[in-house]
Amino acid sequence: MEKQKTICKEVILNGIGIHTGKKVSLTLKPAEVDSGVTFIRKDMPGEPKIKASADSLLANKSSRRSSIGSGQAEVETIEHFMASLSSLGIDNINIEIDTNELPGLDGSAAGYVKVLEDAGIKEQESDKFIYNVKEPINVQEGTSSITVLPYKEFKISYTLNYDHPLLQAQFLEITINANSFKNQIAPARTFCLEDEVAQLKSQGYGSGANYENTLVVGKEGVIKNKLRFADEFVRHKILDLIGDLYLAGCPIRGHVIALRSGHSLNLQITRKIHEQRIRTQGANAMKESLDINEIMKILPHREPFLFVDRVTHLEKGKRAVGIKNVTINDYFFRGHFPNRPVMPGVLILEAMAQVGGVMMLASEENRGKLAFFMAIDNAKFRKTVVPGDTLVFEVEAGKIRSKIGTVHGKALVEGKVVAEADLMFALVED
């Protein structure tokens, strides 16, 4: 078994956001085992945390970069940094950031690799979880597609084909590891067509872009720059894909076959990998799981007001994932839009709160207590939930003291957020 890794020491990296043009400072810090990749917005009240995962993806901002968010906090253009973490094997790291976009550096990941190597990389005591793709997964949009097949290593085969004389068919197949990434993929820079520049600027992209950090491809070739590789364009597409796939929440083993894919399609396949991982519940995918009988030992709720069928992942006092299988036999469908069954939003929040309650009350210091609602903030309902859906609740702890606990929760169906909220509880003796 491989061991989890983090960095050895704190390091600082400054730069300019390639899209926003804002100055940005990153402080990279070592993190505990099983904590994952966490961005911390130091410029916002309360310094909100954003966990880098498929559940944090902001789909409406995925056309030219990868962005994640939690509540009002967002972080954009994370793909080059995430690719560097993935390929160097870094599982746990805290990233303090003072604005909403990571620095673009020279348009590649080489600068991120250097700063991470300068920080040093060390093994931790816990085993690393690597997800081996169990069965083929495919997504497609028009002439673009990605297929992931079971395979013993992490291999990518990418075909690039633009309607441009310099960007017609480029193909590269490569097995990704720290060495191949550092030397063959990380130096490849972002690019765009000269014809796209004006439109991208008008849409708010590329405010920090220039001919040094972006390869601008004109009719006669790259403008005011030179290629580092003859096929630098396809290598950069692979770089983006590696970073996007790391948002599945862990390293993967599989053969990724991509045709003309970009961030939107990359993130769709990432969600599907994440869903397959939850469904198959591979070894070590969970810290601890609870069936309904174990849940009832922690929560006082009983039918018909127990809305959690199983807790698939439990890190006591830190994080939990629970499942509710929504069926037409659920009693509330008899009176709530009976001609078009829709699960009441307040019950989605109640189920979310029950998963949060399990997370808080499972710890030894809170065993035997009750969790009473004190507040619900930032509640949003994004999509209806109907019979046949499987609700996946992911809750993450905020501050938990002896008498008060807060959590941020999300409810997902097929990898898409249907509801989210910040919940506060009073923890009282039974």
Distance (Å, whole) CA 386 – CA 392: 14
Distance (Å, whole) CA 94 – CA 49: 9
| Residue from 19, 80, 263, 313 carrying the catalytic annotation | 263
Q: What is the largest CA-CA distance in the chain?
A: 76
Cβ atoms 3, 90 nearer than 8 A = no
Distance (Å, whole) CA 331 – CA 369: 28
What architecture (CATH level 2) is domain 292-429?
A: Roll (3.10)
Annotation says 274 is catalytic: no
Annotation says 408 is catalytic: no
pLDDT by 10s per residue, the chain, length 430: 689 999 999 999 999 999 888 999 999 999 988 889 999 999 999 899 999 988 888 866 556 789 999 888 999 999 999 999 999 999 999 999 999 999 999 999 999 999 999 999 999 988 898 999 999 999 999 899 999 999 999 999 999 988 777 777 899 999 999 999 999 999 999 988 887 777 777 777 777 888 888 888 888 888 999 999 999 999 999 999 999 999 998 999 999 999 999 998 999 999 999 888 877 754 334 445 677 878 888 888 988 899 998 887 888 778 888 889 898 888 898 888 888 899 999 999 999 999 998 988 887 677 778 888 888 999 999 999 999 888 989 999 887 666 888 899 999 987 789 999 999 888 888 7
Residue 85 in tokens = 């973490």
The SS3 call for residue 178 is helix
HEC readout, 19-52: CCCCEEEEEEEECCCCCCEEEEECCCCCCCEEEC
How does DSSP assign 124-168, residue by residue? EEEEPP-EEP-S-EEEEETTEEEEEE--SSEEEEEEE--SSTTSS
Residue 91 in tokens = 């599982």
Domain segments of the chain: what residues? 3-127, 131-280, 292-429
Cβ atoms 88, 186 nearer than 8 A = no
Distance (Å, whole) CA 295 – CA 362: 9
Check whether domain 3-127 has CATH 3.20.20.80, yes or no: no
What architecture (CATH level 2) is domain 131-280?
A: 2-Layer Sandwich (3.30)
Distance (Å, whole) CA 71 – CA 98: 17
Closest among 95, 177, 174 to 130, alpha carbons compared:
177
Say yes or no: do domains 3-127 and 131-280 share a fold: no
